[in-house]
Amino acid sequence: MLYFAFEHPHLLHGIEIYVNTSLVHLSKTLTLSNKIFRILQNQPYNSPVKDLYIEYNTLPIPQLHIQQLLLLVHKFIHHRNLLPTVFHNYFQDNKSIYSYDTRNKAKLHQLHCVNTTYGLRSIKYKAVSLWNDLTQSIKDIESINKFRQTTKLYSFKQL
């Protein structure tokens, strides 16, 4: 309860932006988060990080970042009214770009002219890449809570 009352909301606030930095800048935050979990669970220094997060049924910071980006795209597709108006036209699907049928017409349009690491870390590029990699059964989930639970389970499998 302490973690979810004091730490978790602060981690989630703006996670889409601040986790896009390089791991060098993020390492202190990751280390501190792992240390908090070890203290709260009374675990030794060398205990596996994966077990710490599974015990609290939450994800490490990089996976929380991925989940929040996927949630942004999910809201864009299924619940656009929940997003600020700035995001109402943020993503495009391939159907609106191409007038002919393609294999990827059901996917979101991916920017292909990204040449820098900054471009690869942009929310628009990263979120579309992550969304397009999801299975269609996960993309079709309309409930926000069900989508969040499914992506959490999907992320736990990848840990």
Domain boundaries, the chain: 2-60, 63-158
- Band of residue 116 on the pLDDT scale cut at 50, 70, 90: confident
The pLDDT, as a whole number, for residue 70 is 95
Mean pLDDT of the chain: 87
As a whole number of angstroms, the distance between CA 88 and CA 78 comes to: 11
What are the angstrom distances between the C-alpha of 158 and each of 32, 59, 93, 135?
22, 11, 27, 14
pTM for the model: 0.84
Which of 9-18, 53-62, 107-116 comes out lowest in average pLDDT? 107-116
The pLDDT, as a whole number, for residue 97 is 72
The pLDDT of residue 118 is above 80: no
The pLDDT of residue 98 is above 80: no
Q: What is the mean pLDDT of residues 44-63?
A: 90
The pLDDT of residue 66 is above 90: yes
What are the angstrom distances between the C-alpha of 1 and each of 13, 25, 151?
18, 28, 22
8-state DSSP, 52: H
- Band of residue 16 on the pLDDT scale cut at 50, 70, 90: confident
As a whole number of angstroms, the distance between CA 77 and CA 91 comes to: 9
Paired tokens of 81: 């009214």
The pLDDT of residue 81 is above 90: yes
